[in-house]
Homo-oligomer: A and B are copies of this chain.
Amino acid sequence: MHRERFYTLTASCPDRVGIVAQVSGFFAQHKGWILETSLHAEPDSDSAPGRYFMRLEVKADSLPFMLAELRERFAPLAAELNMDWRITDSAVKKRVVLLVSKQEHCLYDLLARWQAKELDVEIPCIISNHDTFKGFVEWHGIPFHHIPVTADNKVAAFKEIQRIFEEVKGDTMVLARYMQILSPELCAAYPGRIINIHHSFLPSFVGAKPYHQAYTKGVKLIGATCHYVTADLDQGPIIEQDVIRVDHSDTPDDLVRYGKDIEKTVLARGLRYHLEDRVLTHGNKTIVFR
């Protein structure tokens, strides 16, 4: 089950002839062993010129130098291609901070995956506006911060959350059914780094009580959406979605219950894509190299 150490390059640049040849040529000239390659050409549209997206995994010990030098040597080619790019190291675990409220399903699900090393990250702390899961989280050896959020203390509360996230050197913030709308400042501070699970198949049923909205509308499938958080409520780039069938005999409580199974699965999948550097954003959309 253990995979060898590898580096992951994710990059996008204006489309032109020869991008793949140049990038794969760079690695080939250093005998880099490519484990996985994903490519996508987004064609010209009325609003934007064509753009090329790529993700490569290269075996770390196949290269004759370390990550720092890889980055240094790759930079000139990236500059020539006018690339947005980054290279990550599978040996450096991402640091993920969870924000939860009083619902257990996403929290249990993520901690089960973390326990089994399926979710192979550091969780430096978990933050909640309630103390419901303090004992459960601490039993797992993870620090728990109870930061109540009220109408009066919102500014201070979100500042404190940001302070903690910085202090623990968080890479990614996950709203695992956190039930609070983040401040615009917090959203703006971490674009593409805050992940939410919304309990509807967006763009249907934005906002509060989506299962009750779905019940009132009489839809025959309900869903959930994992997306990046932006200042625009429930409108950020969609990473993953799924649905489940319901019928007339299901009450709003039944929809909530079915929905929880979709929410936790969709959040786990979307988070995994993000942590494995499989998600690139393009305007308000995502390219997901599964």
Residues of A bordering B, CB below 8 Å: 1, 17-18, 20-22, 24-25, 27-29, 31-43, 62, 103-105, 107-109, 111-113, 115-116, 118, 135-136, 139, 201-205, 217-221, 223, 237-238, 240-243, 245, 247-249, 251, 253, 257, 260-261, 265, 268, 284-288, 290
Contacts and interface: CB of A to CB of B under 8 A. Distances in A.
Given A17-B28, A105-B116, A219 B202 contact: yes
A245 B221 CA distance: 14
Q: How many copies does the complex hold?
A: 4
Contacts of A28: 17-18, 20-22
Interface of A is mostly: mixed
Contacts of A288: 220, 247-248
B1 A253 contact: yes
B27 A21 contact: yes
Contacts of A21: 21, 24-25, 27-29
Contacts of A238: 217-220
Given A22-B28, A40-B249, A62-B17, A218 B237 contact: yes
A103 B116 CA distance: 8
